[in-house]
Amino acid sequence: MRFVKRVFLLACLSLGAVACGGGAVNAPMADPGASGGSPATPPPMAATDYFKTLPSHFPKPLVPADNPLTSAKVELGRRLFYDKKLSGNGTQSCSSCHLQAKAFSDGLKNSIGSTGAVHPRNSQSLTNIAYNASFNWGNPTLTEMEMQNLQPIINTDPVELGVNDGNRATVLAHFKSNADYARRFAEAFPNQADPVTQANIVKALASFNRTLLSYRAPFDRFEAGDGSALSEAAKRGLELFESDRLECTACHGGFNFSDSTRVSGAEQPVFHNTGLYNITNSDGSMNNYPPRNQGVFEITRSVGDKGRMRAPSLRNIALTAPYNHDGSVASLSELLDNYAHGGRLVSNPTQFGDGRSNVIKDGEIHGFSLTAAEKADLIAFLESLTDMAFTTDPALADPFAP
Ligand code: HEC
Ligand code: HEC
């Protein structure tokens, strides 16, 4: 049996039947008060409705008990996600840096915030983030969607949406005075005297983000038994991806192609140094990544955490160039050269160093030989993870688009 499946089955066995059966692992789903909307409103959808089309090789995402998934919240969250009024100066929305056509990444090397601040990081795809054990490239403290979703709204370093104490009241006043929003907030958060709050905005955004589920790629049709869904090249690429020589599945295994995936709630986030940098600083410290991009080290200040990042899901990876945490790798071809080398050789003087000899690097990044034909096969496999139904799904699209 192939590794992609094996990882998931092992997870199922160790968690008992409920974890693989579906709804039982989810928190209570229906929001008891959510049916109190106007009579014209359709009955609220619960988590089971959003997750019922997932194929059998996908577990159901967890939903926290204090923020059950309802259609009122998801639809409100979708509007907020696409609305520039959610920024301090009215110029940016979440979707400015997370575009559906690019699997909710932005195509830039580094994202640029609403006040022009350059983000040290590359915008992440929001594909299947409902399964993330942690959020952002290398932050073990952001373990809930709600915790993450607040960050881009209020961040000051760098400024993203730039909501602060000086403009928050104005931002909220817009949503209060807009009749459509006022009704939607009241339906999403019934029995609250003043439902238009920053905390409720975050809950609605998180609800929408949990529905960004990608499971309709050619690879999924192949998993479901349609042998013709993958080209011969992609099938050879899959073999290589799972081979002992390449060991990609050591970190990108399972249905979501990431070892930092949460299915039962018990999983801890996992991080790796892949040898992208090996900079010796003027103070003599070694094995560094560039400033502000040192991964888990930024949080813990523990030397062994330098350069450690989460292995991202590889779903829709062909749509999310440039690659890696700082967008410093332009193409999948270049990325595979780095893995084949066993780390990246950086020759520019300010970041000079051979990542292959970074001592913090993970043992599974050991380098390998790869012919041009094999590289093409591997890329064909990665391209088979592109889910066009996801990038064109009207339920995930901009509700304000003409
Ligand atoms: C200025 C561009 C920008 C804006 C605006 C922005 N993001 Fe992001 N987003 C990023 C970048 C860059 C990262 C990676 C951050 C890091 O690792 O420090 C990210 C990461 C994320 C993640 C983590 C994904 C993962 O796989 O862990 C989520 C979730 C997310 N953003 C949601 C949102 C939401 C919701 C909004 C609106 C409230 C938003 N973003 C606004 C650029 C942006
Ligand atoms: C030791 C764990 C590990 C192994 C083995 C590994 N990866 Fe990764 N992968 C990661 C981590 C961690 C990142 C993010 C690193 C960063 O940006 O600093 C990453 C990033 C990537 C990215 C870029 C993702 C993005 O959104 O920019 C791709 C594509 C990728 N890996 C594919 C592969 C392939 C193909 C293989 C096998 C040749 C492989 N990986 C082997 C851990 C691993």
Q: Give the domains, in start order, of the chain with CATH numbers.
A: 3-214 (1.10.760.10), 218-388 (1.10.760.10)
- On the question of pLDDT at 2 being above 80, the answer is no
pLDDT of 33 reads 34
Q: What is the predicted pLDDT for the residue at 42?
A: 54
Confidence (pLDDT) at 154: 98
Gyration radius of the chain over CA positions: 22
Distances (CA, A) of 359 to 76, 154, 267, 333, 337: 47, 36, 27, 25, 20
CA 120 to ligand 1: nearest atom? 12
Ligand 1 centre to CA of 33 (Å) is 31
Q: What is the DSSP letter of 164?
A: -
CA of 97 to the centre of ligand 1 (A): 7
CA gap 79, 185 in Å, rounded: 11
Q: How much is the pLDDT for 18? A: 31
- The residue written with tokens 């995936």 in the block is 261
* Per-residue pLDDT at 36: 35
Find tokens 């003043």 and name the residue: 194
CA atoms 231, 226, 129, 143: torsion sign: negative
pLDDT band at 384 (very low <50, low <70, confident <90, very high): very high
pLDDT of residue 30: 33
Residue 124: pLDDT band (50, 70, 90) is very high
Q: Read off the pLDDT band of 321 (50, 70, 90).
A: very high
> pLDDT of 143-196, one tens digit each?
999 999 999 999 999 999 999 999 999 999 999 999 999 999 999 999 999 999
Return all residues near 238 (Cβ < 8 A) that are at least 6 apart. Answer: 2, 219, 230, 381, 384
Question: Atom 41 of ligand 1 has which residue's CA nearest to it?
Answer: 94
More confident residue, 369 or 26: 369
114, 186, 253, 309 from 153: Cα distances, Å: 10, 22, 32, 23
Q: Does residue 219 register a pLDDT over 90?
A: yes
pLDDT of residue 46: 67
Amino acid making up residue 143: T
**Which string of b and e fits 261-276 if b means at least 16 CB within 10 Å?**
bbbbeebebbbbbbbb
Ligand 2 atom index nearest CA of 340? 38
Please write the tens of the pLDDT for every residue from 352-372.
Answer: 999 999 999 999 999 999 999
Q: What's the rounded mean pLDDT across residues 272-301? A: 97
Q: Is the pLDDT of residue 314 over 90?
A: yes
362 lines ligand 2 (CB under 6 A): yes
Is there an atom of ligand 2 within 6 Å of 247 CB? yes
CA-CA-CA-CA dihedral for 181, 195, 175, 84, to nearest 10: -90
State how far the alpha carbon of 352 is from the alpha carbons of 212, 283, 293, in Å. 39, 15, 15
> CB of 234 closer than 6 A to ligand 1?
no
Ligand 1: residue whose CA is nearest its atom 11: 123
Contact 17, 25 (CB under 8 A): no
Residue type (1 letter), 3: F
Top mutation candidate among 106, 246, 251 for ligand 2, by most atoms within 8 Å of CB: 251
Decide if 124 contacts 136 (C-beta within 8 A). yes
Helical segments of 224-367, H only: 232-241, 249-252, 297-300, 332-341
CA of residue 300 to ligand 2 center, whole Å = 22
Ligand 1 binding pocket mutation candidate from 126, 145, 163, 260 (most atoms within 8 A of CB): 126
Count Cβ atoms below 10 Å from residue 235 Cβ, excluding itself.
16
In angstroms, the CA 128 to CA 119 distance is 23
Q: Higher confidence at residue 41 or residue 320? A: 320
Give residue 49's pLDDT. 86
Over residues 205-224, mean pLDDT: 98
Measured from the CA of 325, which atom of ligand 2 is nearest?
17
Q: Would you place residue 44 in the very low, low, confident or very high pLDDT band (cuts 50, 70, 90)?
A: low
| Average per-residue pLDDT for the chain | 91
Give me the pLDDT at residue 250, please.
Answer: 98
Contact 248, 381 (CB under 8 A): no
| pLDDT score for 4 | 45
Q: Does the beta carbon of 324 lie inside 6 Å of ligand 2? A: yes
Burial class from Cβ neighbours inside 10 Å (0-12, 13-18, 19+) for residue 79 reads: buried
Give the integer Cα–Cα distance in Å for 244 and 7. 15
Higher pLDDT, residue 107 or 26: 107
Q: Does 209 contact ligand 1 (Cβ within 6 A)?
A: yes
pLDDT category of residue 3 using cuts at 50, 70 and 90: very low
pLDDT band at 9 (very low <50, low <70, confident <90, very high): very low
Nearest CA to ligand 1 atom 15: 136
Ligand nearest to C-alpha 275: 2
Considering only CA atoms, which residue is closest to atom 43 of ligand 1? Answer: 97
**Ligand 2 close to Cβ of residue 380 (< 6 A):** no
